[in-house]
Structures are given as C-alpha cells and as structure tokens.
Amino acid sequence: MGFFDRIANIWKGFLSMWVSDMETRNPEAVYESAINERVKKHLELKKAVSGIVYLRNKLSTELEEREREMRDVMNQLPVALEDGEDEVALVLIQKKDELTKQIEILNADLAKVSKQAEEAKSGLISFQGEIEKLKREKEEMIAKKSNAEARIAIQETLNGLSTDADIKALDNVREHINKLQAEADIGTEVQGNSLDAKLAKIKDKAATSSAKGQLEEMKRQMAARKAATAEGAAGVKKTI
C-alpha cells in the first residue's frame, strides 16, 4: 500500500468517526433522513405497482373484448351453416380458432400479471407499515433519549457534577453573595477593633466614671446637709 493510500485510509477513518459522532448527537435527524428515504422509495414502488395494475386492467379489457368477439362468432356460426354459407362458416371457424388461442394467452398473461399485482400491492402495504413503524420508533427513541438525558442531569446535580449553565449560574451567584457577606463581616470586625472605636470606648468609660464620681459627691453632700440639719435641731431642743 502506497503512502497516499495510507493517508487516504486515515482520512476515511477520521471522516467515518466524525459522521458517527454527528449521527449519535443528532438521532432525530438520522431518523428523519431514514424516513424520508423510505417515503421516496415508497413513491417509486407505488409507481411500479400502478404500472402492473394498469397492465392487468389492460389485459382484462382485452380478454373481455376477445370473449365478446367469441360469443358473436359462436352466435353467427350456426346461422351461416343453416344458410349454407360455407365460405362464411369457414371464416368464422378460423376466427373462432384464432380467438381461442388469443383468449388462452390472455388468460395466462392475466393470471400471471394479476398475481404480480397482488404481490406488489401487498409489498406496498407492508412497506407503508414499515414507514409508520419507523415513525413510531423515532418518537419512542427520542423520548427515551430525552428521559435518559434528564435522569443523567439530575444525577449529576445530586452528585455536584452538573455542567448545566443554570446550575453554574446559581453557583456563581451563591459564591458572590457569600463573598459580599464575608466582606461585610470583615468590615464590622475591623471597625470594632479600630483606633477610633477604642477611643470611643475609652470616652464612654471616662464619661461614665465622671458621672459616677459626681453622683457619689452629690450623695455625700446631701448626707452631710442632712446630718448638719439633724445636729442643729438637737441643739435647739437642749437649749429649751
């Protein structure tokens, strides 16, 4: 085998693989092509059957004409004999013999063609049935394919291996939202540990401490005034 023959065989192999891959990816198109091809052949077969039926009908018509002519001859022959028309009788007898042969041939041909016509019609009906069967098979197989793909997609989703665009989109949205939440949480955490936050806490504590000191001083002064008032009242009673 030459170099170019080997290259040609390799390309044929690649082409065959490519075609096979295209067929498995597009089963509906493959079925549709097969159905269309069978419909085309059905039309061709129908034309052939119509030709056989036409020939059968033509032979049947010719046979009827010869049989009618035979009846006429058989009706005329006794009359010629009674009238003594021997020459006419001889012509009628010869015609009768010719018609007899023709009728035998036509009967044989008609029987043969009629059988062919019946077989052809039966084949045509059977072929039509095959087309309808293939159409049903197409619908069943496409439905089976869709069901299998749906089951695989569900299984991949459950296993976390789905490659569907909507699943990827949802994953991206979820990840984005989680990242935003993390950024917000980090902002809150950093804000709580910032210098300003610490100063604010110290100011709050200082203010609270100052207020508490003032409250204690006010309580002490009030207690002192109450004590002084009580001592003054006690001195007045002793004097009286």
pLDDT per residue as tens digits for the range 30-83:
888 888 888 898 888 888 889 999 999 999 999 999 999 999 999 998 988 888
pLDDT of residue 177: 81
Mean per-residue pLDDT for 111-123?
A: 90
> Where is the domain boundary, 138, 162, 186?
162
CA distance 2 to 7: 9
pLDDT at residue 21 above 90? no
Q: Are residues 105 and 37 in the same domain?
A: yes
Residues 117 and 221 both lie in one domain: no
Tell me, yes or no, whether 226 and 132 share the same domain. no
Please identify, among 162, 178, 206, the residue that sits at the C-terminal boundary of a domain: 162
- 128 C-beta neighbours (distance < 10 Å), count: 15
Domain carrying residue 18: 3-162
Residue 12 has pLDDT above 60, yes or no: no
| Predicted pLDDT at 131 | 87
CATH number of the domain that residue 81 is part of: 1.10.287
Q: Is residue 177 part of a domain?
A: no
Considering the domain boundaries, does residue 56 fall inside one?
A: yes
Please report whether residue 172 resides in a domain: no
Same domain, 25 and 90: yes
Task: Identify whether 157 is part of a domain.
Answer: yes
For residue 41, is it within any domain?
A: yes
pTM of the full structure: 0.48
Co-location of 149 and 214 in the same domain: no
Q: Do 206 and 158 belong to one domain?
A: no
Number of domains the chain contains: 2
Inter-residue contact 123 to 59 (CB < 8 Å): no
Residue 37 maps to a domain: yes
Q: Are residues 233 and 143 in the same domain?
A: no
Average pLDDT score, the chain: 78
198 and 129 in a single domain? The answer is: no
Going by pLDDT thresholds of 50, 70 and 90, the confidence category of residue 105 is: very high
The answer to whether position 32 is within a domain reads yes
25 and 140 housed in the same domain: yes
pLDDT in tens, 187-208: 565 555 556 666 667 677 766 7
